[in-house]
Structure formats: C-alpha cells, structure tokens
Amino acid sequence: MLGPLVLSRAYYHCEDCGTGFCPRDKALGVEDSFLSPGVLRMVGFVGGSVSFEEGSALLRELAGLGVSPKAVERAAESLGREIARDEREACEADADEELPPVLYLGVDGTGIPMRAEALKGRKGKQTDGSAKTREVKLCTVWSAEGRDEKGVPVRDEGSITYTAAIESAAENTDGRPSEFAQRVQREAERRRFEQAPQRVILGDGAVWIWNLADTHFPGALQIVDRFHVKEHLSDVAKGVWGGSCDLARAWAEARHDELDNEAFKPLFQALEIHAQAVPEARACLDYIKRNRHRMRYKTFHEAGLCTSTGVVEAGCKHAIGTRLKRPGMHWTEPGANAIIALRCSRLSGRFESFWERRQLPKVA
C-alpha cells in the first residue's frame, strides 16, 4: 500500500527434488502473488464493487497503485474463490448474537449475462430458443421488528445477510441435497434460523423454492410474496381487456382487495369466469389454488409478519445486478461465482472475519 517495494530475501532450493521456496514470502503473505495482503484487500473491495476497468482507475487515482484491469480481474476472482471455499468450510453460528422473535429466510433467482461458451446447449427465452443468461440463486436472511407508519414490518438495520451462486436446486439422484440447498442450509446454520422462536420462508411461486422449504425446513411458515400474486392478477386483467384500461384496473383492484382479505371464494369465481377463454386466468387460478395456504395475508398481517419479498428482490439487484448486470458484461461461470462470493461476503459484514481466518497459520 506504500507503493512498489523491492524485497531481498533468502531462497532455499532442493537439488534432489528440484523445488524451492522463500520463507519470507509466506511470512509476508505474498506467496504466489505480486500484491501484498493490504493491496489485495483493496483490489477485492474495488473488484467486488465496480468493473475491473473502473477498479484499476480507482486504485491509481486514490492510492497511486498501478494495477492493470486484467490484474484486478485475476486477483479479485482468485480472492473470491478463496471466499467461496471459506463459505463452505466456515459456517459456525454466532452464539453471542441475540435471536429476534422472527427470522425470515428468502429465496429468489435472477439472470446474469454469460459468455457464449457458458450457454452452449442451454434453452432460454430467445426467439430461437437459446439462452443469453444463467440464473443466480440467492438466499437472504433478515429480521424485521421495526414498523412503518402503516404498521408494516421494516427490515432491521444490519440484520441482512446474503449468499448466492450459479448453482442447481435439483436434488441429487443419490438423495443428497442440491448444491443450492446445501448453501441455504449453511446460511441457516450461521444465522441460527432453526433456533428462532418463529421462522418464515418467503418466495415467489416457483415450485423449487417450496420443495426446498418442505424438505429442509418443514416447521417454518411459508409465505408467497403478496405483490407477486397481485402482478399475476393484473396480468389476467390485461389478458381479459387486451391492455391497461379503466375496466382492467377496476377488476384488478377488486381482486387485490379479495386477496388481501382472504376472500378466496369470490376471487376464484371471478377467475373461473375467464379461465376457459383467457390463458392468464387459467394459470393464475391454478397458481392461487396451489399456494392458497401460503397466501393468508390478512392473518399474516395481523400477526405482524412480512408478506413481501422486497428484501430479497432488493438483494438480487443490490448484491447481484448492480455489479454483474451492467452494460457490456458477459461472465464465465467461475468468474461470476467468484465475484458473487466476494460481494456477498462484503455486504453481509463477513469480509473482516474471512480475512482474520486467512491470516491464521495453515495446519499441514
């Protein structure tokens, strides 16, 4: 961090095996690296926050360090891979942290642009059936004991943590949990989710989310995001009236009120009227019937519970989109996962503890 340094140190070489090493490199933390630990932390910070080009410019402007964009990329991704390994290995819970009355666990996914070689053979939403993105699956844990002026729960400052990766949620054929399920389990263990007095899992209507919840957290209360359901109902209105108009808005608002008040009978009747002629109505009717027990919003609201995945969706934008979905960016899977791990570590307040573990002597 003081600029380029020339180090003179002893080099030990074994004539029999043909290898050698410098003990001082290991002591200084520069083994297999041209960056000191202090500079590597700075590179990790900028590499997880802005593009590699911008990170290089920031290091030069603010610290007088000449680290090329490619060097920022290599160092940040290497550090991210270390953090990803640490995330898998270090999932001890903070026993001193006081548990809130309710802990929320939210799951969602968001697509990020990928390089062509990372998309070969994958089906997508393009007109030719190809894919342009891969889905990053995100797990978020938080508490919300505060309330706004309307009595709606508000996320508690500093309570939110993230973990994410491009991973499969499909259970393995040998019965082992999927990669992403294992990630969620680790985060739940770190946050002592299973020990909380009340546990709530929030998500949209994706079947894989509720399969994961049923399998790994059977005692948790499940809630489908209220606004996600209302979007489906608004889509039905547009499908019936061919777009946004006064009739469509009035119909949608009436259905939203029925949803808020758990008036499922008139809600189903209104959807059934259009179910045969309008595909959106058929799909929405099936969706609400399938998830009705997760949509008891009046009951949930009276209990003071969150009924929106706003925290999770904001996490998708803040933790993933802000860094990995910028114009012109196209990722490899290893590169994306490394930067995601780096970014989640920082945003979750775990970067310092990772660094402390990194400095510990390695046990042979």
> Region 321-339: what's the mean pLDDT?
95
Question: Of 312, 289, 320, whose CA–CA distance to 133 is shortest?
Answer: 320
Is the same domain home to 56 and 171?
A: no
Biggest CA–CA distance in the chain, Å, is 86
Phi, psi dihedrals of residue 161, rounded to the nearest 5°? -130, 155
Neighbouring residues of 90: CB distance < 8 A, sequence distance ≥ 6: 354, 357
Q: Which whole-number Å values give the CA distances from 53 to 115, 192, 200, 329, 337, in the listed order? A: 18, 39, 41, 12, 19
Is the same domain home to 190 and 119?
A: yes
Is 336 contained in some domain?
A: no
In terms of residue numbers, what domain contains 81?
A: 12-89+352-359
Is the same domain home to 179 and 319?
A: yes
Is 97 contained in some domain?
A: no
Is 344 contained in some domain?
A: no
> Region 43-64: what's the mean pLDDT?
95
Is the same domain home to 195 and 314?
A: yes
Say yes or no to pLDDT of 12 above 70.
Answer: yes
Is the same domain home to 207 and 318?
A: yes
Two structure tokens written together for 62 = 């603010």
Question: Of 298, 305, 295, whose CA–CA distance to 197 is shortest?
Answer: 305
- pLDDT score of 310: 82
Is the same domain home to 165 and 210?
A: yes
Is the same domain home to 213 and 325?
A: yes
Question: Of 22, 304, 47, 262, whose CA–CA distance to 154 is shortest?
Answer: 304
* Whole-angstrom distance, CA of residue 275 vs CA of residue 282: 4
Is the same domain home to 202 and 318?
A: yes
Question: Of 227, 220, 144, 229, whose CA–CA distance to 184 is shortest?
Answer: 220
Question: Of 355, 317, 323, 322, whose CA–CA distance to 338 is shortest?
Answer: 323
Say yes or no to pLDDT of 11 above 80.
Answer: yes
Is 304 contained in some domain?
A: no
Is the same domain home to 139 and 286?
A: no
Is the same domain home to 39 and 181?
A: no
Q: pTM for the complete prediction?
A: 0.88
Q: Is the dihedral of CA 331, 333, 338, 344 positive or negative?
A: positive
- pLDDT score of 92: 77
- pLDDT score of 124: 81
Phi, psi dihedrals of residue 200, rounded to the nearest 5°? -130, 135
Alpha-helical runs (H) found in the chain: 23-28, 37-47, 52-63, 69-89, 179-190, 207-216, 226-241, 246-260, 264-275, 279-290, 297-302, 310-315, 322-324, 333-347, 351-359
Is 290 contained in some domain?
A: yes
Is the same domain home to 31 and 84?
A: yes
Reduced to 3 states (helix: H, G, I; strand: E, B; else coil), residue 53 is: helix
Is 62 contained in some domain?
A: yes
Number of separate domains in the chain: 3
- pLDDT score of 98: 87
Question: Of 186, 199, 159, 190, whose CA–CA distance to 95 is shortest?
Answer: 190
Reduced to 3 states (helix: H, G, I; strand: E, B; else coil), residue 183 is: helix
Encode pLDDT of 152-192 as tens digits: 888 888 899 999 999 998 887 777 899 999 999 999 999 99
Is 293 contained in some domain?
A: yes
- pLDDT score of 21: 86
Say yes or no to pLDDT of 120 above 80.
Answer: yes
Is the same domain home to 133 and 212?
A: yes
Is 217 contained in some domain?
A: yes
